[in-house]
Structure 1
């Protein structure tokens, strides 16, 4: 049986990269009219036929009989997660930006744990908080990009979590804080990266840190902050591994009579609207850009892997 020509064949004959061939055939940005004409002519000559769904998503022309779906699959045991965690609304904002005028539906699905069934798989998936074997299994089922590091070989886009944790720690140490506590996150790659970056600075400064692991919820952070204060009543700084966590820390500090930042400085992580409203120093991560980059890669896997996006500490009144 004669092998069907592939995109790689088109790229080789046209003398361009696979990514360039994909963009030229789909009419995406980054290719000139002459390049598009040349690559499409080669494709026609060798008999290459783009996958119908991929071509429709790239051009926005989907069959009138079926709207293609992209699923945002969120693993988060908190039933109120979508309403109380700004991260998810920022993801949706970035995803909608990437979809633009394509005739594609976005579906958001929150689950307590990775689902085992996959009866009606969508065209593509954006995975959130799904690492290890579960992430790898979903990647084998179709086009998949993970927000945050997942299993080896799974395409991901993520902020520089380690660098952000490093920035927060440097800020607290260099502003004279000497009894530092931290409410870290759950055992997910992004939370562990923030924790590693933060602790590396404290270790280099030979400065002890009291810490509690949290779960990115305000209630757990509130209890964790109370525990930190009980363990070290003279605590003069707290790093909260997300802005929602910081809200729980601030509540606990208020109730125990600690003044922020005079008695205790607080730094969060996310740079969400919560941080701005609460005058909270926070490490900003470009969530909307992460989600948009991930969706662009779903639509055109020929694009370079998204990788890491930079984080920046914004200092406000809490520190």
Structure 2
């Protein structure tokens, strides 16, 4: 007769889930659906499994007073001032906190220059920003993960309709009579490439040449790229900037060159942030707060369908 007490690993194996999922289901933690929780608890009851609170605390290194669940917002951005220089991140945090409401869950922000290779103590959920390819897949293996923007195959994501937003910006410039159009595109990331593709699709159909330069979603690069575009075509009458921060550099370079925004050169950005409103900048609005909230809701309840794409809308202001 086998008198060995059933373990959490036994429960997980019989229930057909991971050990971490079994633990969360038994303890009523976030990150598992109601159906999974019921199945795991039924299996635990059938096997006669009884969790040992002291052993659990010793195994995790946490006492009952410190077992607060957490969601980590992992931002890969080499700029140490990124959190203040880029309004996008603040909007993400606003949406995430809105989704958490009064739940007893910590929201941690981690900005790194490169994706972490490992995790000594992974969170129950992770929101990825600017984490792509193998790094995104690795993060998803270590914790429940949703990415803002496409990350890697198999990783759930929520993103704006970047392609449609780029398309709207280009249509606006062409239909308002702009003929010598420049563009400061973004870095080689999925969201930037999608904006670029939508923009260039209109330009190809309009049979208009576009002078362009690559940017990195910073004001400094937007400034330098615009000076480059003006050197290549001093008669530019429009510039599309792939994000509002980039557009701030575009506007500065145009002012220094003596070009009057809108009368001489139309400018359209992308994000629809507070920067766009303050600068009277036409910009493609993307609902960042709603994206972040949808991602957090999916982390809290994985039974919900993957968030997918949210619509973007061009908001025309005084710059175009």
TM-score range, shorter chain: 0.7 to 0.9
| 1:132 aligned residue | 133
| 1:297 aligned residue | 298
> Does structure 1 residue 89 correspond to structure 2 residue 90?
yes
| 1:116 aligned residue | 117
- Structure 1, residues 91-132: CA drift from partner, whole Å, max 9, x if none? 000000011111111110111111213111111110000111
Q: How does 1:73-88 map to 2 (within 5 A)?
A: 73-88=74-89
SS in 2 for 1:239: strand
| 1:230 Cα deviation after fit | 0.3
**Alignment partners' CA distance in 1, 2:194 and 2:160:** 10
**Alignment partners' CA distance in 2, 1:77 and 1:185:** 15
**Alignment partners' CA distance in 1, 2:157 and 2:204:** 29
Q: CA RMSD in A?
A: 2.2
SS in 2 for 1:227: helix
| 1:4 Cα deviation after fit | 3.4
Conserved in 1, the CA contact under 8 Å of 2:14 and 2:43? no
**Alignment partners' CA distance in 2, 1:182 and 1:65:** 50
Q: How does 1:67-78 map to 2 (within 5 A)?
A: 67-78=68-79
> Does structure 1 residue 314 correspond to structure 2 residue 315?
yes
Conserved in 2, the CA contact under 8 Å of 1:71 and 1:107? yes
| 1:4 aligned residue | 14
SS in 1 for 2:235: coil
Moved over 3 A (4+): 1-7, 21-26, 42-49
Decide whether aligned partners of structure 1 residues 45 and 213 sit closer, same or farther in structure 2, where only a CA change above 3 A counts: closer
| 2:230 aligned residue | 229
| 1:187 aligned residue | 188
Unaligned 5+ segments in structure 1 are 8-20, 27-39, 53-62
**Alignment partners' CA distance in 1, 2:214 and 2:80:** 20
Conserved in 2, the CA contact under 8 Å of 1:6 and 1:48? no
SS in 1 for 2:111: strand
| 1:22 Cα deviation after fit | 3.5
Q: For this pair of structures, how many residues does the alignment match?
A: 281
| 2:280 aligned residue | 279
SS in 2 for 1:4: helix
Query: TM-score, normalized by length of structure 2?
Result: 0.83
| 1:65 Cα deviation after fit | 3.8
